[in-house]
Chains A and B, each alone.
Chain A
Amino acid sequence: GAVVSQHPSWVICKSGTSVKIECRSLDFQATTMFWYRQFPKQSLMLMATSNEGSKATYEQGVEKDKFLINHASLTLSTLTVTSAHPEDSSFYICSASPDRASDTQYFGPGTRLTVL
């Protein structure tokens, strides 16, 4: 089956620093990648949708200057949390779709970010 990896699986950083999370599709080309945020006992909240080679589309309320998304290739998307603060602590999940016209998404295992 299609596999999506995320790195790192967990990260602890100091307030004010930036953190980069990678999302890779290992055995398929991902035309579209999605980034979600999950709070404890809450649903996955879509943060942004990125299509390879174009700018990400952010959901309402998500700061594009704080959560930088790059989808430079068909197998890699990155999420950079800039100037992280404790309220950014969360579980970040990416998913990838091989086709823009498909509702199929393959999910990564998630990255736990803790900002001290």
Chain B
Amino acid sequence: GDSVTQMEGPVTLSEEAFLTINCTYTATGYPSLFWYVQYPGEGLQLLLKATKADDKGSNKGFEATYRKETTSFHLEKGSVQVSDSAVYFCALSDSGAGSYQLTFGKGTKLSVIP
């Protein structure tokens, strides 16, 4: 079945540091890939997505590139801010499996300190 593996947290960075959160996946079809963010006390919000190989999703300074050859979708940001502190979830939606259900990774908690 489909699965998503993302790096274990928590991750603690100083403000303006470079961020990478690794994510790899297995899927039977041709998945769309997502990063969701959950701020404290709030629901998950879509951060960015990519629907096919070599696509790059980007939003709020975050980027992730769909790498089919390495089955990866790593999240990066060049300079994190305190306001980026949240839990980040990598996910996939495999329409080839006949539905648009999301399969999530376990989440990575990011704390950015001033």
Mark A residues whose CB is within 8 Å of B: 4, 6, 32, 34, 41-44, 46, 49, 93, 95, 97, 100-110
Contacts and interface: CB of A to CB of B under 8 A. Distances in A.
Interface range on chain B (Cβ under 8 Å from partner): 20 to 34
Given A43-B104, A100-B100, 9 more contacts: A6-B43, A43-B105, A43-B106, A43-B107, A93-B44, A103-B34, A107-B45, A109-B41, A110-B43
Nearest to B90: A43
B95 A103 contact: yes
B104 A101 contact: no
Contacts of B4: 43
Contacts of A107: 36, 43-45
Which label, helix, strand, loop or mixed, suits the secondary structure of the B interface? Answer: strand
Contact of A109 (B42, B49, B95, B107): B42
Interface of B: 4, 32, 34, 36, 41-46, 49, 89, 93, 95, 99-107
A44 B99 contact: no
Contact of B43 (A43, A93, A100): A93
A97 B100 contact: yes
11 contacts: A6-B43, A34-B102, A49-B99, A93-B43, A93-B44, A95-B44, A101-B100, A103-B32, A103-B49, A105-B102, A109-B42
Contacts of A44: 44, 89, 102, 104
Nearest to A3: B43
A2 B36 CA distance: 15
